[in-house]
Amino acid sequence: MTDLLTISLEELVSSLSSLMDHTIAPLRDHHRRTAIAAFHIADQLDLTWQQRHDLIFASAIHDIGAFSVMEQQVLHDLSFESQYINLHARAAYLLLKEFSYFDTIAEILRYHHAYLNNSTELDRTLIPYESLIMQVADHAAVLSVDSLNILDASAAIINEVNQQSGIMFVPEIVEAFNRAAEKENFWLDIKNLPLSSLFKDRLKLDNLHIKSSELMGLVNLFRRIIDFRSEVTSTHTAGVAAVSAELARFHGREEETIRKIKIAGYLHDIGKLIVPSEILEKPSKLTPQEFNIIRTHTYFTYEFLNGMTIFKDIRDWASQHHERLNGRGYPFHENDNTLPFESRAIAVADVFTALTEDRPYRKGVTGKDAMLVMDVDVQKGELDGVLVALLGAHLDQINQARVIAQDASQKEYQVFVMELTKDQF
């Protein structure tokens, strides 16, 4: 096992921003557009390479905190005048600062809505210059959405941004925007340029070199983004990771495999970021249309992980958790002949956790009752009989591991929510 891991920030940013760009309307294609606009504005300013690098990185994921405040119904109120506007910026800061390599990015995101006129009581030297640039880029990106031919809309957008010069935005940054916005390529890039082209030809992002022991820190960052969307989901991932790791342990797997299964467990539902929170939180039966939206999530888990070399090993394990041995799962219709042990273990852990965990609107069933349900799933040819029997044989220990992991995650979530609403920025 090598001690240093290389994480491509280009892969990370592309995977994450394209995942987020598949979600509901206010965020659709929003991250790509903002990053491209920020790149062009930065080109007109005297920035260091590092500042430009961090600005593009931060812009491409800047609304990542919005997923964690969806339950407060604020995603639909991402308008720039909203009183909740800083909530998702603060959420992004709280999520990212836990992984020390992303400290600077966390600070940039924290202040990405700290406009001149809504942060008067704030010490303005705290606000990174990159945040101030992103504010203008963000606006241009939002205003650019509705136009069929963006060149028809550019004059009105320039006008709208300039009206906020000295009110919301720093005048010298608006000037830089104006110089960039004179050129058609600024607008055509906002509308069309893939992030991959930006990274290829104009601004290479760094690779991150971390110790292999630090990978869990990055994975935990994702876990929190996935689980902390709402109280309903706030501990699910932690439970699945714990149960699948225990299954692997009782199956006699090596430490390294157990660790990787745990990572796959943590990431298995990352594709759920594209599912609106009303559907995730719905206590009653889903309509066929809603269920079809849910059914897309493992496809997006696959796409997200497929984009990142560092997660190549666990891509299939994580994204196959709704596949079934009889071929009736989704989305690839794998079967008994094609599903590896690790994917089966995560599928069993997912069902067990879903049955036993408490939800705000119902209590989880006992471990024994969950086994009765899962035995039927084995008879139907859905779940692996050997793994379900292994779970039954070590039920108390495995269930205990789940409860401990989910309790810890619950506490973490409570602290997160408290921190979120403690300060405005």
Residue nearest to Fe ion (CB): 138
Spatial CA neighbour of 192 closest among 37, 25, 348, 400: 37
Nearest residue (CB) to Fe ion, 25 versus 389: 25
Nearest residue (CB) to Fe ion, 138 versus 412: 138
**Are 306 and 25 a contacting pair, CB within 8 Å?**
no
* 34 alpha carbon, distance to own chain's centre: 17
Distance of CA 2 to CAs 68, 101, 218, 374, Å?
34, 20, 18, 39
CB of 297 to Fe ion, least distance (A): 6
* Neighbour tally for 424: CB within 10 Å: 15
CB of 138 to Fe ion, least distance (A): 4
CB of 254 to Fe ion, least distance (A): 26
Nearest residue (CB) to Fe ion, 63 versus 323: 63
Query: How far apart, in whole angstroms, are the C-alpha atoms of residue 100 and residue 97?
Result: 6
Nearest residue (CB) to Fe ion, 63 versus 384: 63
How big is the chain, counted in residues?
425
The helix (run of H) or strand (run of E) holding residue 93 is helix 85-96
CB of 232 to Fe ion, least distance (A): 13
Retrieve residue 124's tokens. 């303005």
Contacting residues toward Fe ion, per CB under 5 A: 63, 138, 269
CB of 213 to Fe ion, least distance (A): 28
CA angle (94, 408, 265) in 5-degree steps: 85
Nearest residue (CB) to Fe ion, 54 versus 138: 138
CB of 69 to Fe ion, least distance (A): 11
* Neighbour tally for 76: CB within 10 Å: 13
Nearest residue (CB) to Fe ion, 8 versus 343: 343
